[in-house]
Structure 1
């Protein structure tokens, strides 16, 4: 079942990238160059044959003047939406880390739940427009924001400008669970 969901998500993301590229009136080659990825990679992503990494998804979105969140959440959403604990689309952030989207598209903010296994981390530092707020639910994480590091435990929060490079790490031997809230939606 998980493989089927992964394939469905890859096809959905690919279709969203293709639609956004066509709306921007770019060829595969033009978008690949702008995003810093190869044309064959982009073609495979658009055809749902592979799942772009978080970093590549952000690069593609930036080249399309949108956000990774918009690509992932294209389509109409009701004005009020309840997302149960067992629901919501999820996306792999890297080895042993997953994000679950808690808010639909066309919002002024988004909130994503990250489940991070022991000794996992974001692929690399990232930047984007807006502001972010992180709330640790369980476990502990280390946030590197610009030149500063912050060790956060359950109940701790951090707020920062998302234009500053930021990256999270779970350095512990236990899983961590935390919320990333950003405005405007950045993922």
Structure 2
């Protein structure tokens, strides 16, 4: 909420508790939406955040109010500030987001050798997340296949990336693109000796 929208003292006495309850009640849904949008299972997020899977499940179902320490851990793991969970949702007057080339925010990723520079607006306002990805030689998504709601679209700008989606493998050179459902088990790797760059997009469900 902007400072200019802050309620007066008289309003705070009457609506403050209700407002707090509403904000707290939205922490769980926000956490669940962010976790699933990034493709993490409860156990994967537990490992990344050092918060138990049981606690995360309770928070998402509004069965437990997290401490500030817990929110900090979850925020770091998911690449968002604590304010993401407790700020009131405000829709922009214009659904427009502009990113200067030299001001792309760093997007958190658990994968070594993958650097993401964001080029889209907040996931709270838009359905698509995209980043300029730099993938170092030898980097990969790991041994375990990834599965998540939504779709992915990858367009390689430089170098070569290899994807395995389901039972098929795809080699993407500069100019090639791959669009697939995130619900199909998939891996990616840079098997070459040079870095690769790509535009990487994720479209969440609804």
What TM-score, normalized to structure 2?
A: 0.57
1:112 to 107, 131, 135: 131
TM-score (norm 1): 0.62
Judge conservation of contact 2:134–2:198 (CA < 8 Å) in 1: yes
Task: Give the counterpart of 2:155 among 135, 142, 156.
Answer: 135
Structure-1 residue corresponding to 2:118? 101
Change (3 A) 1:73 1:23: closer
Q: Distance in 2 between matches of 1:129 and 1:72?
A: 25
Provide the residue aligned with 1:168 in structure 2. 188
Which deviations, in whole Å up to 9, do the C-alpha atoms of 1:104-125 show, x marking residues without a partner? 1221222122111111112443
Q: For structure 1, which runs of at least 5 residues remain unmatched after alignment?
A: 1-18, 26-33, 58-67
Structure-1 residue corresponding to 2:50: 41
Q: Is the 8 A contact 1:146 1:164 kept in 2?
A: yes
3-state SS of 2:126 partner: coil
Aligned residues: 144
Q: Cα–Cα, structure 1 residues 168 and 95, in superposed 2: closer, same or farther, change >3 Å? A: same
When Rg is computed on C-alpha atoms for both structures, the one with the higher figure is: 2
Alignment RMSD? 3.5
SS of alignment partner, residue 24 of structure 1: helix
Deviation at 1:156, TM superposition (A): 0.2
Equivalent pair of 1:73/1:104 in contact (CA under 8 Å) = no
For CA contacts below 8 A with separation 6 or more, give which structure has more relative contact order. 1
In 1, Cα distance between the equivalents of 2:171 and 2:24? 38
2:50·2:73 contact (CA, 8 Å) conserved in 1? no
Pairing of 1:143-162 with structure 2 (within 5 A):
143-162=163-182
C-alpha distance in 1 between matches for 2:118 and 2:83: 9
